[in-house]
Amino acid sequence: MKSKGTNAAAASGRARSTAPGRGADASANAKKERKPVTMRLDLDVIDYFKAEADRTGIPYQNLINLYLQECVAEGKTLRFA
C-alpha cells in the first residue's frame, strides 16, 4: 500500500518534475503534497492534454495540474457566457 502524498507516476520514475520553460517554479510545484481526485472532463479536454503530453513528454495529468497552478498564480477568474 502506498503512503499518503506519494504520486504513483513519480514513484515509478515516469513523471518529470519540470516542464520546459518553467524552471524553478515547476520543481517547487513538484514538492507540494498532492491529493488524488476524480473529475469528469469533456473528451475534447482530455484529447487536448493527451496530445500536449505526446508533444512534450510530460504526463497529461501533470500538464492539467501545471495549467491549473498557472491559473492560481495569475489569479484567473472564471467567465461564464
Residue 40 lies in a domain: yes
Radius of gyration of the chain (CA): 14
Question: By residue range, what is the domain housing residue 51?
Answer: 8-74
- Residue at 15 is within a domain: yes
Q: Please give the pLDDT value at position 44.
A: 98
pTM: 0.60
Residue 81 domain-assigned? no
pLDDT at 77 over 70: yes
pLDDT of residue 27: 59
Tally of structural domains, the chain? 1
pLDDT at position 74, please? 97
What's the pLDDT score for residue 17? 43
Give a yes or no: residue 3 inside a domain: no
Q: pLDDT by residue (tens digit) across 3-48?
A: 444 444 444 344 444 444 455 555 565 678 999 999 999 999 999 9
- pLDDT for the residue 4: 42
